[in-house]
Amino acid sequence: MTRAVFSLFLAMFLVGAAAAATPVEPTHGRLPTDSIYQLPISLTDQHGKTFDWRTRRGQPQIVGMFYTSCRYICPLIVESGKAVDRSLTPAQRAKLGILLISMDPARDDPAALMAVVKERKVDGRWTLATPKPADVRSVAGVLDIQYRQLSDGEFNHTSALILLDKDGRIVARTERMGSKLDPEFLEAVKAQLD
């Protein structure tokens, strides 16, 4: 998705959501116009807690989309995030948020999300979350994730990790999945944490 298409997509959602949007905390100032947080979305995490994703502002984030019943590429998305995480110092890790968002809210309740947390052995800094069904397409759109559900309930989807700066602007992206790191993506992550 080009930056112009992204901006147009985001603008269309902002017009419709402007009346419902809650104000951003004044301590952070106004959101940049190209921040994904311009889109007001609520997510429910693996603990059953519902939160506005804009509360993650202030800390760089690695974000991806997945679904819990996937046995092929989604575990590799998690492993890719873990590989980046392992390559950071403890001080760098403390500055980074990791958010995986489900594209399957019909099945991915908090218990299903927590099962992945335990199975994949991710630590407490990781948030696995599900949007409302009506918001999945919007989240995928601002992250430039393409997906479609198949007749058997599985999904074809883009496999990517997206790096956001502290204000929710996309600064890097990798589609290299697995335990082998994308060195350019890792360097972009480290640059956001210095």
pLDDT band for 28, please (50, 70, 90 cuts): low
Give the other-Cβ count within 10 Å of 97's Cβ: 17
The mean per-residue pLDDT over the stretch 116-130 comes to: 96
| Nearest-angstrom CA–CA distance, 109 and 130 | 7
Average pLDDT over residues 72-100: 96
pLDDT at 192: 98
Task: Report whether pLDDT(21) > 60.
Answer: no
**Domains in the chain with CATH codes:** 3-193 (3.40.30.10)
Confidence label for 104 from pLDDT (cuts 50, 70 and 90): very high
Measured distance CA(95)–CA(86) in Å, rounded: 14
How far is it, in rounded angstroms, from Cα 24 to Cα 108?
Answer: 28
- For residue 131, what pLDDT is reported? 98
> For residue 82, how many other CB atoms are within 10 A of its CB?
17
